Amino acid sequence: MDRRLRVGLLTGGGDAPGLNAVIRAVTKSLILGHDAEVIGFEDGFLGLIAQRIRPLSYGDVSGILTRGGTILGTNNKANPFRYYKRGGADVSSQVIAYARQLGLDGVIAIGGDGTMSIANRLDEMGLPMVGVPKTIDNDLVATDRTFGFDTAVSIVTEAIDRLHTTAQSHQRVMIVETMGRYAGWIALHAGVAGGADLILIPEFEYSLDEVARVVRDRESFGRSFTIIVIAEGARMAGGEMAVRKTLDDSPDPLRLGGIGYVLQAELEARIKSEVRTTILGHVQRGGTPTAYDRNLATSFGAMAADLVAAREFGRMVAVQDGRFTSVPLAEVADRVRKVPMDAPLVRAALAVGTSFGVPELAASLDGARGEGAVV
Ligand code: F6P
């Protein structure tokens, strides 16, 4: 090759702990391993649309491994196929022309399902793309893990531990609401790690009678406090998801939140104990990544750099059955990975007496062994 490899990089969608670790890994491995030039786009796809770039040197990405957020900024509305600042116009051809004008060999997009869907469409139109799976929700298909999830689970687990002691002291029912959108991974993992009595997730519509029964049983056994972890996307059987607001200019317009308060109101009418609700919100996305997420982000970043250098485009780096691999972006686009009913962690939780608010769940899994992927 007679000229240096030139690679674009952006972080799209909501932020997650570990974004800077990926930016660092991509940039350092492209510079050290391939003598490449790295061009960062500011604020996700908005940087490609509004032509806002920032060259990234080795020095620019030194010292950011542990930092939360993203040094490039992000945006969860800027979709080149439906650009909100121009009345939903399709500006994808301009974006591709701009990337060509910059002389980019490829673009690495770090993001969740929305970002991967956009990356896939741009790749199909001729802009060579590589994806890196990010989201605290862990809901991308074709990868067992996304970076950011482990950190969110640690934050929620710590919150549950803290709520445990105050719940015990006041003999209260404590409801902890987590993020996760339409998947219950955060609530499931943190709920089990924090020893929650009830874990309510979108995948299993809960029965209010069952939730109240568990609390009353605990009251009658002298355990006068109960910890309930509820995912923001959970809903009562026959009920609605709690939508906090609708953002019409966002590719995923629904913002969930508040189901904890709905549950509190329903429960207070049925049980003796006092009930309190804590909505953890964006604290789950902020701050420094765990060691696990730093290492996952670093491995993903280095792999993405190698894919670009090998000109293997249209792919997303992934972890499957404990091994690093890559998958076609088309496989990931427009899909969400939910908690399967027979997930080993669901079975383990049931085995230690945790309820998912569904009376017949344990019986329906009877006889099944808790084997399968760790996640
Ligand atoms: O996808 C990550 C996530 O934090 C979800 O868990 C949550 O539903 C959503 O983003 C919140 O979005 P926003 O930051 O726009 O409020």
Are 297 and 18 a contacting pair, CB within 8 Å? yes
How many angstroms separate the alpha carbon of residue 13 from the centre of ligand 1? Answer: 9
Query: Can you tell me the distance from the alpha carbon of 169 to that of 160, in angstroms, rounded to the nearest whole number?
Result: 14
Pocket probe for ligand 1: among 181, 232, 243, 259, the residue whose CB has the most ligand atoms within 8 Å is 181
pLDDT in tens, 92-145: 999 999 999 999 999 999 999 999 999 999 999 999 999 999 999 999 999 999
Question: What's 323's DSSP letter?
Answer: E
The CB of 76 under 6 Å from ligand 1? The reply is: yes
| 294 pLDDT more than 80 | yes
202 Cβ closer than 6 Å to some ligand 1 atom: no
The Å distance, Cα 186 to ligand 1 centre, comes to 12
Instruction: Say which residues have a Cβ less than 8 Å from residue 160's Cβ, sequence separation at least 6.
Output: 176, 190, 191, 193, 194, 195, 196, 227, 229
Write out the two tokens for 115.
């970002």
Closest residue CA from atom 16 of ligand 1: 255
| Residues 26-40, mean pLDDT to the nearest whole number | 98
At 256, the pLDDT band (50, 70, 90 cuts) reads: very high
33 contacts 6 by C-beta, under 8 angstroms? no
Using the predicted structure, report yes or no on whether residue 371 has a pLDDT greater than 70.
no
Q: Which of 22-26, 83-87, 109-113 is predicted least confidently?
A: 83-87
Domain match, 64 and 202 both = no
375 vs 373: CA distance, rounded Å: 5
CA distances from 332 to 115, 132, 220, 278, 343 (A): 10, 11, 48, 33, 21
Catalytic residues: 137
185 & 202 share domain = yes
Residue 231 Cβ contacting ligand 1 at under 6 Å: no
Of ligand 1's atoms, which has the minimum distance to the CA of residue 13?
1
Q: How far is it, in rounded angstroms, from Cα 174 to Cα 141?
A: 32
Q: Model confidence at 375, in pLDDT bands (50, 70, 90)?
A: low
What residue has token string 């049983």?
217
Full domain range(s) for residue 222: 151-286+340-364
Query: From the CA of 372, how far away is ligand 1's center (Å)?
Result: 29
Evaluate whether residue 374 is within a structural domain.
no
Count of the separate structural domains present in the chain? 2
Looking at the fold, whether 26 and 135 belong to one and the same domain comes out as yes
**What value does the mean pLDDT take over residues 306-326?**
97
Q: Are residues 324 and 348 in the same domain?
A: no
Residues 155 and 260 in one domain: yes
Q: What percent of the chain has pLDDT over 70?
A: 97
6 by Cβ neighbours in 10 Å (0-12 / 13-18 / 19+) ranks as: middle
| Distance between Cα 30 and ligand 1 center (Å) | 31
The reply to whether ligand 1 has any atom less than 6 angstroms from the CB of 135 is yes
State the Cα–Cα distance between residues 117 and 112, nearest whole angstrom.
Answer: 9
Residues constituting the chain: 375
**What is the mean pLDDT of the segment spanning 54-73?**
98
pLDDT at 264: 98
Whether 205 is covered by a domain: the verdict is: yes
Do 187 and 125 fall into the same domain?
Answer: no
Looking at residue 355, the DSSP 8-state letter turns out to be B
Whether 71 maps to a domain, the answer reads: yes
Distance (Å) from CA 259 to ligand 1 centroid: 15
Same domain, 207 and 350: yes
Q: Which amino acid is at 254?
A: L
Asked if residue 38 is part of any domain, the answer here is yes
Q: 259 and 199, same structural domain?
A: yes
Q: Please indicate, yes or no, if residue 373 is contained in any of the structural domains.
A: no
pLDDT of 1 higher than 60: no
Residue to mutate, 115, 137, 230, 232, ligand 1, most ligand atoms under 8 Å from C-beta:
137
| β-strand pairing of 129-133 with 254-256 | unpaired
196 within domain boundaries = yes
pLDDT at 343 over 80: yes
- What is the share, in percent, of the chain residues with pLDDT greater than 90? 89
Of 66-80, 276-290, 356-370, give the lowest mean pLDDT range. 356-370
Q: Which residues in 11-22 are b (16+ Cβ under 10 Å) and which e?
A: bbbbbbbbbbbb
Same domain, 143 and 156: no
Confidence of residue 154 (pLDDT cuts 50, 70, 90): very high
The domain that holds 134 is classified in CATH as: 3.40.50.450
Q: Please, which residues bridge with residue 89 across strands? A: 83
The verdict on residue 370 lying in a domain is no
Highest mean pLDDT among 191-195, 218-222, 252-256: 191-195
Q: What's the whole-number mean pLDDT along residues 322-351?
A: 96
181 lines ligand 1 (CB under 6 A): yes
Q: Is 46 in the pocket of ligand 1 (CB under 6 A)?
A: no
CA of 88 to the centre of ligand 1 (A): 22
DSSP letter at 89?
B
User: Do 297 and 238 fall into the same domain?
Assistant: no
Residue 30 falls inside a structural domain? yes
pTM of the model as a whole: 0.96
**Distance between CA 254 and CA 248 in Å, rounded?**
8
Q: Residue 355 is part of a domain; what is its CATH number?
A: 3.40.50.460
Q: 175 with 53, same domain?
A: no
pLDDT (tens digit per residue) in 215-252: 999 988 877 899 999 999 999 999 999 999 998 888 78
What's the pLDDT score for residue 222? 79
* Whether 314 contacts 123, CB under 8 Å: yes
Residue ID of nearest Cα to ligand 1 atom 8: 181
Q: What is the pLDDT of residue 149?
A: 98
Sequence-distant contacts of 363-369: CB under 8 A, at least 24 apart? 365/341, 368/342
Say whether pLDDT at 362 is over 90.
no
> What token pair was written down for 111?
């993001």
Say if residue 68 is in the same domain as residue 111.
yes
